[in-house]
C-alpha cells in the first residue's frame, strides 16, 4: 500500500516536473509541496515528535519510489533523514523537541555538514573549528558538497573542538540558516541531480548556544559515522529508484520500437540485457531491504558491525547496479537514449552520484573489509 500510494503521488505530482527541474537546475518545489502535504518529506521522524514514525524499510520505499520519478526530489526525504539522524541518535531531549517538530511538519528541512574542501574521504581531517566562549561556541570554517544548502533551515555541523585528539576531538552542533555569520556559496554546476542544490556553507564567527551541541563534546565524529551506517541505505534506495525508472522505460520502449520487421524486444540479445538488468536490480533491492532491517535491529540494540557491513554493501552494490542498468537502458534506446528528449540520459547522469556521495564506493569496500560479518 505504501509503495502504491507513493508511486501514484510521484507519477502525478513529481514526474511531470522532473525534466524541467533538471533542465533549469532548479529546486523541485512542486515535489516538496507534494511530499509535505502527504507527510512523506521526513517519514523517519518518531511519532513522539510529531512525525510519521516510519521504520527504515518504509523510509527506503518512499525514497525509492520518489527517485523512480525524479532523483533530485528523492533527496528531500533522504537528506532530511541524514541531517536530523545525529539529533535523533545523540541529541538531548530539548534538541529533539526543538528541531524535529518543525522538520516533521514540513516547516524546515535538515542538511548534513561533514565534508570540507580538504576533508572528503578523510573526514577526520576537517579544519572547521568550534571554540568555547562561556555558554556559547564560536564556529569558523567551510563545509563543501552540502546537499540542499540554502534551502534547509537546519544544519548538523561537525567541527573540531580539540585539535589534539583528531577524530575524538570533533563535536556535532545544530546550526540554523538564520544564525549570524552563516552564508552559502554559489550552487555547484553538476552532472546530475541538478534540482538538488549543492553549495558550500560558510561559517564566519557563528556564535551558537552551547546547548546546541549534539551529544557530549568529542563524540561528534562517532555520531557522524553511526549516522552514515543508517543513511547509506537511503542512497541505496535512491539508486534502486533510478534504476527501476530506467528499466521500466527501456522495457516499454523495446516493445514499441521495431527493426527488421519486429519489436526489438523479440531479439534474444535485447532480452538478455533486460534479464541482466532486472536480476541486478532485484539483488540490489533485496540487499538494501536486508540492510534496512538491520538498521531497525541496531536501533533496538543489535550489533553495530552487522549494520556497518550491510549498509556499506547495500550502498555500494545498488549504486554500481544503478550505473550499469541506466547505461544499458540508454544503449537499448540507441541514438534516442543519448538525447534529452528521453529521460534515460538524465537517469544515467543522476545514477553516477550514488557511487560517490555518502562515501565513495572505494571507501565502502574498505568499510566492508573491516567489518566482515
Q: Which of 59, 79, 105 is the last residue of a domain?
A: 105
For the segment 84-106, the average pLDDT, to the nearest whole number, is 98
- Residues 235, 321, single domain; the answer is yes
Query: Would you state the cell numbers that stand for residue 256, as one nine-digit string?
Result: 514499441
303: which DSSP letter? -
Q: Tell me how crowded residue 286 is: count the other CB atoms within 10 A of its CB.
A: 11
The strand pair at 154-160 and 110-113 is best described as: parallel
Query: Would you state the cell numbers that stand for residue 113, as one nine-digit string?
Result: 555538514
CA atoms of 163 and 117, how far apart (whole Å): 18
For the segment 367-372, the average pLDDT, to the nearest whole number, is 95
Q: How confident is the model at residue 263, as a pLDDT?
A: 98
Q: Tell me how crowded residue 155 is: count the other CB atoms within 10 A of its CB.
A: 24
Query: Would you state the cell numbers that stand for residue 74, as one nine-digit string?
Result: 528523492
- Residues 366, 237, single domain; the answer is yes
- Residues 43, 143, single domain; the answer is no
**Whether residue 358 lies in the annotated active site:** yes
- Residues 100, 130, single domain; the answer is no
- Residues 84, 66, single domain; the answer is yes
- Residues 95, 117, single domain; the answer is no
- Residues 88, 155, single domain; the answer is no
Query: What's 364's domain CATH number?
Result: 1.20.140.10
- Residues 117, 137, single domain; the answer is yes
Q: How confident is the model at residue 298, as a pLDDT?
A: 74
Residue 304: band (very low, low, confident or very high) from pLDDT cuts 50, 70, 90 = low
Three-state DSSP at 210 gives helix
Q: Is the dihedral of CA 205, 210, 211, 213 positive or negative?
A: positive
Q: How confident is the model at residue 373, as a pLDDT?
A: 86
Mean pLDDT, the chain, integer: 97
- Structural domain boundaries enclosing 67: 2-105
- Residues 347, 249, single domain; the answer is yes
Q: How confident is the model at residue 301, as a pLDDT?
A: 64
- Residues 213, 225, single domain; the answer is no
Q: How confident is the model at residue 278, as a pLDDT?
A: 98
The pTM for the full model equals 0.97
Q: Tell me how crowded residue 223 is: count the other CB atoms within 10 A of its CB.
A: 23
In tens, the pLDDT along 18-68 reads 999 999 999 999 999 999 999 999 999 999 999 999 999 999 999 999 999
Residue 299: band (very low, low, confident or very high) from pLDDT cuts 50, 70, 90 = low
Query: What's 27's domain CATH number?
Result: 1.10.540.10
- Residues 13, 53, single domain; the answer is yes
Q: How confident is the model at residue 59, as a pLDDT?
A: 98
* SS3 assignment for 132-163: EECCEEEEEEEEEEEECCCCCCEEEEEEECCH
In tens, the pLDDT along 171-198 reads 999 999 999 999 999 999 999 999 999 9
Query: What's 207's domain CATH number?
Result: 2.40.110.10
Q: Tell me how crowded residue 175 is: count the other CB atoms within 10 A of its CB.
A: 24
Buried b (16+ CB within 10 A) or exposed e, 105-123: bbebbbbbbbbbeebbeeb
Residue 237: band (very low, low, confident or very high) from pLDDT cuts 50, 70, 90 = very high
For the segment 249-264, the average pLDDT, to the nearest whole number, is 98
- Report the percent of the chain where pLDDT is more than 70: 98
CA atoms within 13 A on the CB side of 50: 13
Q: Which of 36, 70, 105 is the last residue of a domain?
A: 105
Structural domain count of the chain: 3
Q: Which of 86, 105, 124 is the last residue of a domain?
A: 105
Q: Which residue in 64, 65, 345, 358 is the catalytic one? A: 358
Helix locations, the chain, DSSP H: 2-9, 15-24, 29-37, 56-69, 71-90, 93-105, 220-256, 268-299, 304-332, 344-353, 361-370
CA atoms of 55 and 69, how far apart (whole Å): 22
CA atoms of 150 and 278, how far apart (whole Å): 38
- Residues 249, 350, single domain; the answer is yes
**Cell 533522504 sits on residue:** 78
Amino acid at each position: 500500500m505504501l509503495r502504491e500510494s507513493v508511486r501514484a503521488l510521484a507519477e502525478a505530482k513529481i514526474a511531470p516536473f522532473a525534466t524541467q527541474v533538471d533542465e533549469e537546475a532548479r529546486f523541485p518545489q512542486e515535489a516538496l509541496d507534494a511530499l509535505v502535504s502527504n507527510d512523506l518529506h521526513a517519514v523517519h521522524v518518531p511519532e513522539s515528535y510529531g512525525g510519521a514514525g516510519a521504520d527504515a524499510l518504509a523510509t527506503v520505499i518512499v525514497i525509492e519510489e520518489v527517485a523512480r520519478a525524479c532523483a533530485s526530489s528523492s533527496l528531500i526525504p533522504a537528506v532530511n533523514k541524514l541531517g536530523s539522524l545525529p539529533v535523533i541518535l545523540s541529541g538531548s531531549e530539548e534538541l529533539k523537541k526543538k528541531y524535529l517538530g518543525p522538520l516533521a511538519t514540513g516547516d524546515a528541512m535538515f542538511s548534513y555538514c561533514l565534508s570540507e574542501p580538504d576533508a572528503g574521504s578523510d573526514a577526520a581531517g576537517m579544519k572547521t573549528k568550534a571554540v568555547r566562549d562561556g555558554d556559547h561556541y564560536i564556529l569558523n570554517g567551510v563545509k563543501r558538497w552540502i546537499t540542499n544548502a540554502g534551502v534547509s533551515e537546519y544544519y548538523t555541523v561537525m567541527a573540531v573542538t580539540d585539535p589534539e585528539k583528531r577524530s575524538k576531538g570533533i563535536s556535532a552542533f545544530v546550526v540554523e540558516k538564520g544564525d549570524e555569520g552563516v552564508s552559502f556559496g554559489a550552487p555547484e554546476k553538476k552532472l546530475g541531480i541538478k534540482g538538488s542544490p549543492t553549495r558550500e556553507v560558510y561559517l564566519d564567527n557563528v556564535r551558537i548556544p552551547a546547548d546546541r551541541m549534539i551529544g557530549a563534546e568529542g563524540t561528534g565524529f562517532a555520531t557522524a559515522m553511526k549516522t552514515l551506517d543508517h543513511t547509506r541505505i537511503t542512497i541505496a534506495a535512491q539508486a534502486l529508484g533510478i534504476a527501476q525508472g530506467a528499466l521500466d522505460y527501456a522495457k516499454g520502449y523495446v516493445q514499441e520500437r521495431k527493426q527488421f520487421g519486429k519489436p526489438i524486444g523479440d531479439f534474444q540479445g535485447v532480452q538478455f540485457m533486460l534479464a541482466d538488468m532486472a536480476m541486478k536490480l532485484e539483488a540490489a533491492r533485496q540487499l538494501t531491504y536486508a540492510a534496512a532491517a538491520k538498521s531497525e535491529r541496531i536501533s533496538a540494540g543489535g550489533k553495530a558491525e552487522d549494520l556497518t557491513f550491510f549498509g556499506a554493501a547495500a550502498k555500494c552494490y545498488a549504486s554500481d547496479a544503478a550505473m550499469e542498468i541506466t547505461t544499458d537502458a540508454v544503449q537499448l534506446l540507441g541514438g534516442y537514449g543519448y538525447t534529452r528528449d528521453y529521460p534515460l540520459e538524465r537517469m544515467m547522469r543522476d545514477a553516477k552520484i550514488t557511487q560517490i556521495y555518502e562515501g565513495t564506493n572505494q571507501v565502502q569496500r574498505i568499510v566492508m573489509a573491516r567489518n566482515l560479518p
